[in-house]
Structure 1
Amino acid sequence: MVRAYDVALLDLDGVVYTGARAVPYAVDVLTEARRRGMALAYVTNNAARTPEAVAEHLVELGVPAKPEDVVTSAQAAARVVAERVPEGASVLVVGGEGLEVALRERGLRPVRSADDEPAAVVQGYAADVDWRQLAEASYAVMRGVPWVASNADLTIPTERGIAPGNGALVGVVRAATGTEPVVAGKPELPLHRETILRTGAKRPLVVGDRLDTDIEGACNGGVDSLLVLTGVTTPDAALAAAPGQRPTFVAEDLRALLAEPVTARREGDAWVCGGWTVRVADGALTVEGSGERIDGLRAACAAAWSVDSTGSTGSAVDTSGVAAALGW
């Protein structure tokens, strides 16, 4: 893939690292991909941390990264705000340092009170966001100023389990004001645009582990995508992917970046990949053959996704037991 695409737009959690550890193969693959001439951009919905902090964490893990390689939803949100307010305007911040730094980069002045007469409100996740900050945002939004959210992720993973994400906190302000924000992060287009502008990518490949953010964002942006199964998405979930959330390529992990692109091919009424053949019959998938399990999944996904709207979407095809039959 390093010959087919000039820039890999990589999600972080579940793709490059999981918490404090690098995902298996990530360090070696990304180092080699860069050596072969592929540019790497690390694209995250996390608006709390600055690009410098993200790059520092990546380097600690052994991943090649500089601050300018990191693109955050805070940067995308700041650009959206800058396009809507006068230069040097005050902007009410609900969130962390990442948002403040991104706003200053755009020549805007972060403030923390609606009494500072902000020209806009920008909201992102931070662990210390409290009732007071949400109330300040509500006061300002009720006055009619633009409201931009870094992302709308309802939950975030933590070491102790699933916790409320920025989308849940945005919901508090929405409930108080009856207003909808402009969302900058995946799967919406502003973060994709920010990434293309900062990297100058001509043939980008989005690499992610989530269908509803990474892959849907790639579909919205009209670019190819690679789904890796090292994070949130399971083989069963990939088989049931909805239109608009279907990747160009599916792989077990980042090693696919160093290989030639592989997809299933259609042969008559069947989809074939490697030693596997998959058909749709009576609303269910039938699997024959043997070989690498990822090739079987590629053929099964292609078959499930091929069902058109008259037969309903791929999610209506009975895929039960298919992943297990392939060895997952």
Structure 2
Amino acid sequence: MHRFVAGVIALSISTAAFAGDPFDDARYHIRTKSNADAIALIDSGEFDVNMQTDEGYSLLHYAASAGNLEMVKALIARGADPTLKAAVGGTPYEMAIGTMVKAEIRKAMTARAAVSPQAPRTTTPAPAVTAPQAGLGAVRASNGMCELARNNPASSSRSPAMRPFLAARDAIWYNHPDELEGLLQDCVGPADADEYGWTLLHHAAQRDRVPLARILLDYGAKSGSRNKDGETAAHLATSAEMKALLGSDNSAKAPDNPEDRRKLECQQKFAADAALASDTTGRMSAMRRWEACLKTGFYW
């Protein structure tokens, strides 16, 4: 949806270019990456840096959706608010294109939360700490990452309480270290686990995401945590680099019986498939693939 909005933004700007309005001209220059011209207009003082269109878009929205890192930095340095929402609810972070652009906006969100931790919160209250989440510690000032995860329309099939954790798992799967760190800074705990006992470090080890595993360890993740099959993250490590990072663990062995190994692999693939399903039809398809996998050994 936000990509569509970005297209609408680009079209509306092209027709408004050089209309004589400083704000309109500035957002045109941002989209075309004529950054010196945009900065000159912003610094002219003819409009507020957090001015929004009737649709609620600020210049930071435009810079983020254009993937214009230089302007994102320049706007934030001049006091642009990274938490402003458009009429459709989109924040600059949600509309951002590019990992570095997202990282810059997330840092601004974190800094803003740290400066005013007592400001009224609009986020959904964090879920009660359950057994797998023990040790999360005191409530932290939000950087907005968990709110984004809970309100993400693409996660409508997921339990709201699990959405931040699953968003962190997705960040590992798709190799987005900035998003993982942002969620860890907000409400996701390094020891959190799903119903199968898989922690984020298990997923990082299985996917051989060494830089993300380092992030998790820096935040306090323990390589000795076991899933319900008795496996640790160290046992799931495949590359030499991951094994060196997590250390060896010969105490947690995979099932020796070929049939049990097949069942475990089918279960893991089903869990991942079902978590990404967007509706009941998708989950039923995943269930059928799981049943077929148990018989044939092949999930796909």
The structure with the largest alpha-carbon Rg is 2
Using structure 2 for the length normalisation, give the TM-score: 0.31
Select the structure with the greater relative contact order (CA < 8 A; seq sep ≥ 6). Answer: 1
Using structure 1 for the length normalisation, give the TM-score: 0.29
Higher helix share: 2
